[in-house]
Structures are given as structure tokens and as C-alpha cells.
A = this chain, B = another copy of it.
Amino acid sequence: METVLVKPARSARKAKGDGHLRRAEILEAAERIFVADGYEGATIRKIADEVGVSSTALYMHFRDKDEILHEICLQAMQALLEQNSEIAARPTDAVTRVRLMLEAYVRKGLEHPNAYRLVFCAPLRGGDTPTRRATAEISSQCYACYSGVVREILAAGQLKIADADCAARALWAACHGVVTLMITQPNTDWGPEGELGRVTVEGLLHGLVAE
């Protein structure tokens, strides 16, 4: 059995994990803690401990704590964008596609409550880090993809109001409300699984879309 030549290297110092390997390792650990304990719970030191490295080392790979956690959210955001694009391309009618998007949105939000909170509920302080801009870019693409389908509904003459953007925002806001409410008050009885989301989306769709 041949052993890889490993540096015995004296010391408790963690071996170099070259380049983006260590970076990915940090992101993984951060995600585990972040998902479990939220933004405040995921401290620099906890993440560093999980990786087995000193807290200072994280600043080699990320500008600050925000960048680490926002990078995680960026991934979730990209997944959402992919999903939205996929739904947008389906050969169904526009109303059905909007419905599917909104349902997927609510589902994703409830599945990743901490990421959702960070992206959609945080006051958006600070501003110009690349990660921040990337997230904004993706989320804007996400919205564009979604509102495009709403505009299709308008074009088909099925929208009861003249402003498609406003309708899109209203539907989004309603779903956002469902997600945030259920996330922040998980102990409240929100009725049968998925009922609140369904009633909200269907109700608003019936109110805004003809037929």
C-alpha cells in the first residue's frame, strides 16, 4: 500500500488547501452553520473552527462575514433563477406558468428560511461588494423572467388591470408575505400544509386575471 507523500510538517497548523479548495471548504462549513443557526448564529469563529483554521484565515478568502454568507445566498438565488427560466420556457399558458413560479418561490423560501431572510428581509446595508452586485444581478434577472410572463398575460388580454408590472409586484409581495410570516412565526398554526400559499396565490390570481 503506497502512501501519498504527506507532509508531516510539525505543528498544529492546518495544511494549505490550495486556492479555491479552501474557499469551497469554508463555504460548505459556513452553509451548514448558517442553515442551522442563521445569520447571527454563524459567527466567524464558529465557521473557522468547523474548517479547522483560525478565524483570521477566513479573511484571506473573503472580504468580510457578509461576503461569505451572501455567497451562499447567491447560489440559492441562482437555483431559483434556473427554476424560473425552466418554468418560463414550458409550453403551457402564461397564467399556469406564473402560478408555478410563485409556488416554487414559496417552496424555496420555506426550504431555505435563513437564506431567504438574508436576501429578502435584510435592510440591504453596505452595498458595493462584487458578491452583492452579483446577487442583485441574479435577482433582477429572476424578476425580469417572472414579470415577462405576467406581461404575456396582459398581452393576451387576460389581465384585469392595465399595469402588468404592478400586478407582478402585487403577486410577488403576497407570496413574500406568506413566506416571511411562516418563516418568522413557525410556531403559529398556519393551517394545512401549503394551504395559505395556495389560497393567497389563487385568490389574487382570480382577482387580477380574467377567466
Interface residues of A (CB under 8 A from B): 38, 120-124, 161, 163, 165-167, 169-170, 172-178, 180-181, 184-185, 190-191, 195-196, 199-200, 202-208
CB-based contact B123/A167 at 8 Å = no
The interface residues of chain B lying within 8 Å CB-to-CB of A185 are 124
17 more contacts with CB within 8 A, not counting A206-B208, A207-B208, are A120-B184, A121-B121, A122-B184, A161-B203, A165-B191, A167-B199, A169-B191, A170-B196, A173-B174, A173-B178, A173-B200, A174-B200, A175-B177, A176-B180, A204-B204, A206-B206, A207-B207
Residues from chain B with a CB closer than 8 A to the CB of A167 are 199, 203
Give which listed residue, B165, B170, B174, B191, contacts A166 with CB less than 8 A. B191
Contact, CB under 8 Å: A184 / B123? yes
Q: Pick from B163, B165, B174, B202: contact of A174, CB below 8 A.
A: B174
Tell me the bound Cα distance from A195 to B165 in angstroms.
11
A92 to B144, CA, bound (A): 41
Is A173 touching B166 in the complex (CB atoms < 8 A)? no
Partner of A177, one of B165, B173, B199, B203: B173
Which residues of B lie under 8 Å from residue A123 when comparing CB positions? Answer: 38, 184
Complex: chain B residue closest to A165, CB-CB: B191
Judge whether A195 and B166 touch: CB under 8 Å: yes
Query: Which of B121, B161, B203 is within 8 Å of A184, CB to CB?
Result: B121
Q: How far is the CA of A169 from the CA of B198 in the complex (A)?
A: 12
| Contact of A161 with B199 in the complex, beta carbons under 8 Å | yes
Which listed residue, B161, B165, B191, B200, touches A163 by the CB 8 Å rule? B191
* Residue pair B180, A178 in contact (C-beta under 8 Å): no
How far apart are A163's CB and chain B's nearest CB, in angstroms?
Answer: 7
User: How many Å lie between the Cα of A185 and that of B80 in the bound state?
Assistant: 20
Asked if B121 contacts A200 (CB within 8 A), the reply is: no
